[in-house]
Amino acid sequence: MTRRAQTRRHSATSARGLTRRDLLRSGAALTAAAALPGSLLASAAMPAAPLLLPGAPLPGARQTKRIVLVVFGGGVRSRETLGSGNTPALDRMAAEGTVFPRTSVRNNGHYGSTVNIFTGTNESYGIRENGRPIHPTLFEYVRAGAGLPPSEVWLSTAGSDQETNYAYSAHDRYGADYGANLIGGEGIFNAELVDVMGGRQALGSANADVERQMAALRGSVRTPLVVDGAAGVANDPEASGRIERYLLEELRGDTARLTGLGANDAKSLRVARNLMGIFRPRLMAVTLRNADVAHQSINDYVTVIRRCDEELGQLFDTIRNDEELASSTAIFVLPEFGRDRDLNMRRGLDHGDGSEDLLNVNLVAWGPDFRKGKVQSREIESIDVSVTIASMFGVKSPVARGSVISGLMA
């Protein structure tokens, strides 16, 4: 395959609506949380008949029953990951799995490059674009093709406005009815919300005010998607009840208290780890973004990478230490793109020089059906990942332009 070297420089300020403080002060806004960017937990419609039998392996695999996809948004070079000393957890995963060090990417801006991973296409989007992708996402292909309910397909984000758009596309044959359950950890699990609800002590008691706030959060879970005027069917009552219990446990726990450099990414990974333990969904995706601090400081960038790797390690260990998950879960990890070869004038790293550091990244794949301890020298593309995952679910990606990755399966 020929790598395409289109690049685009970037400035990282996204449009903002209500501030988080405004949102948290408004009970009415909490009730409408499913429709607001940055504090979103929503669900999509369920297809008519499930095609995957409960507990059965995926049609395109022998043992794999569920897949986790982690996209390191923000731009991460290979030289700061595998073998660098910064990513011991990712190193462990690579040693037990398969690595594709020549994974070709396009620098279509943060939003565009991550969208391309989920859609399997190479489309350019503006750096402040805040509309739905035009092509169907992996979530839509899998839910529509495999007949999965929303409780089986999740997306955990670092909380930016743009990330909410990854859950489903504007495609007329797919869209909201086949989207992922979307949860933005920074929007919901934060110390301000805990304080608004009366603190941890109140969350652990039968408090009428807390119950009213929880009722608002329940409403956001059960409300059909209203973004873009879409109408859908929410999670079934059993799934909604489990989501409600999960929300309360997270608010009582440590996720809301994660702060500092890389906290948004840490929450996204922490939420994914806990969701895997509760729901054991068929498909879980995680998006990160804090590595883009590299524009200002290479040291802060490395700190974010190390913090993300620590949380990734906890997710990995949760899977490996669970007998059922360890024998049935596959994990894919890759950045949206790399970064420039040389430091900028601020001793940071931009992304626009067209170098190998920018346009080649590592894909790490770990799972029961994958080759062990293998480094593949063949060139692949980041848009191949979603097509490969869809194929494992036994479904096609008719609009995607990627290919199924060869040399992955044992």
| 40 is a domain residue | no
pLDDT for 246 equals 64
Between 49 and 356, where is the model more confident? 356
Band (52; pLDDT cuts 50, 70, 90):
confident
Between 372 and 190, where is the model more confident? 372
Terminal CA-to-CA distance of the chain, rounded, Å? 22
Q: Which residue has tokens 């569920």? A: 66
Distance CA 282, CA 55 (A): 10
- Whether the per-residue pLDDT at 14 is higher than 80: the answer is no
| 300 is a domain residue | yes
pLDDT 10s digits, 148-195: 988 899 999 887 778 889 999 999 999 988 998 888 754 444 343 344
Average pLDDT of the chain is: 79
pLDDT for 20 equals 37
| 247 is a domain residue | no
pLDDT for 207 equals 59
Cβ atoms of 156 and 268 closer than 8 Å: yes
Question: What is the mean predicted confidence (pLDDT) over 386-409?
Answer: 97
pLDDT for 248 equals 61
Distance CA 72, CA 187 (A): 19
Band (211; pLDDT cuts 50, 70, 90):
low
pLDDT 10s digits, 239-248: 656 665 666 6
* Residue 328 structural domain: 57-186+258-392
| 345 is a domain residue | yes
CA angle, 278 then 194 then 234, to 5°: 45
Cβ atoms of 309 and 87 closer than 8 Å: yes
Question: What is the mean predicted confidence (pLDDT) over 258-272?
Answer: 86
> Domain tally for the chain?
1
| 242 is a domain residue | no
- Report the DSSP beta bridge partners of residue 153: 283
pLDDT for 127 equals 75
| 204 is a domain residue | no
pLDDT 10s digits, 102-122: 999 987 788 999 999 999 999
| 233 is a domain residue | no
| 238 is a domain residue | no
pLDDT for 46 equals 39
pLDDT 10s digits, 338-364: 999 999 999 999 999 999 999 999 999
Weakest-pLDDT range from 251-265, 308-322, 357-371: 251-265
Band (27; pLDDT cuts 50, 70, 90):
very low
pLDDT for 219 equals 44
Question: What is the mean predicted confidence (pLDDT) over 214-239?
Answer: 44
CATH of the domain at 91: 3.40.720.10
Weakest-pLDDT range from 33-42, 278-287, 386-395: 33-42
Record the tokens describing residue 33, joined without a space. 């949380």
- How many residues can be counted in the chain? 410
pLDDT for 43 equals 43
Own/partner pairs, 353-357, CB within 8 angstroms, 24+ separation = 353/7, 354/5, 354/7, 354/107, 357/77, 357/78, 357/79
